[in-house]
Amino acid sequence: MDRMLVVVFDNETKAYEGKKALVQLDNEGSISVYGYAVVAKNKDGSASIKQGDDVGPLGSLAGTALGSLIGVLFGPVGLAVGASAGMAGGASFDLLHAGVGDDFIDDVSKALTSGKVAVIAEIEEDWTTPVDTRMEAIGGTVYRRAHSDVTHQVHQENVAAMKADMAQLKAEHAQARADRKAKLETNINQLDSKIQDQLQKAKEKRQAAEAEAQAKAKILKAKAAAAVGATR
């Protein structure tokens, strides 16, 4: 199962141990790690990504569900991760793209107090014991949630709602007096621009999701091939 994982540690040293444990579990075949980041919540409330060039097999946080999750949890530092992929459009979209519920975000946010350091990862795991055992031994508190992709559905609903508004405006325009038609035409044009913008964003996010899915499939295929080769 594809899961979003957050492990909260008391300090940076333990967090790096946690990241190393994740990589070891991946090498052992217990889990598959798609991407990860070590992020610190500083004493002044700001956040910083540690070793930003070390993000796992996917090779980039930009445009990924993992990047979105970091954006939701850590604000500006996280949004900067995805800015190049057009991700800085608001925390509400980031939450949807991260594929987790707001209750999960609330639980993690309460644990991520100043001075804490988190390992945030997207993984594939069949059972939770391997990760939990390693992380708890290091002193980490584990939060996980199955990743779901509801972004496309939400975009469709937004566009459908705006098209309904458009139909109402056009109907009103057809019956309006001359002094109202110009204002209604302006509203119609503005709404049409918003609809086109939503459609374009939906297309971009869909393409990003497809690219991410293909990258994950390649990672799993390579691991499977390596496992077969090791048994020969």
Q: Given this model, what pLDDT does residue 211 score?
A: 76
145: CB partners within 8 A, 6+ apart: 3, 4, 100, 101, 104
Q: How far is CA 13 from CA 16, 124, 227, in A?
A: 5, 25, 32
Q: Is the dihedral of CA 210, 216, 219, 222 positive or negative?
A: negative
Q: Name the residue ranges covered by the structural domains of the chain.
A: 2-146, 151-226
Q: Given this model, what pLDDT does residue 61 score?
A: 67
Helix axes 178-231, 151-175, angle to 10 degrees: 170
Q: Given this model, what pLDDT does residue 18 score?
A: 96
pLDDT at 65 over 70: yes
pLDDT, tens digit, for every residue of 158-184? 677 778 888 888 888 888 888 788 888
Q: Given this model, what pLDDT does residue 51 score?
A: 66
Strand partners, 31: 125
Per the CB < 8 A criterion, the answer to whether 6 and 119 are in contact is yes
Confidence of residue 93 (pLDDT cuts 50, 70, 90): very low
Output the six-digit token pair for 211. Answer: 């690219």
pLDDT at 76 over 60: no
Confidence of residue 90 (pLDDT cuts 50, 70, 90): very low
Please, what is the average pLDDT of the chain? 78
pLDDT, tens digit, for every residue of 103-155? 788 888 899 888 899 999 988 888 889 999 999 999 999 998 887 654 555 55
Residue 6: strand, helix, or coil: strand
Helix axes 12-28, 129-138, angle to 10 degrees: 150
pLDDT at 55 over 70: no
pLDDT at 91 over 70: no
Whole-prediction pTM: 0.64
Output the six-digit token pair for 130. Answer: 């391997």
pLDDT at 78 over 80: no
Per the CB < 8 A criterion, the answer to whether 204 and 212 are in contact is no
Burial class, 96, CB count within 10 angstroms (exposed 0-12 / middle 13-18 / buried 19+): buried
Which one has a higher pLDDT value, 194 or 205?
Answer: 194
Which whole number is the average pLDDT over 54-65? 66
Residue 21: strand, helix, or coil: helix
Burial class, 53, CB count within 10 angstroms (exposed 0-12 / middle 13-18 / buried 19+): exposed
CA 153 remoteness from chain centre: 16
Which whole number is the average pLDDT over 45-54? 70
Confidence of residue 82 (pLDDT cuts 50, 70, 90): very low
Q: Given this model, what pLDDT does residue 63 score?
A: 61
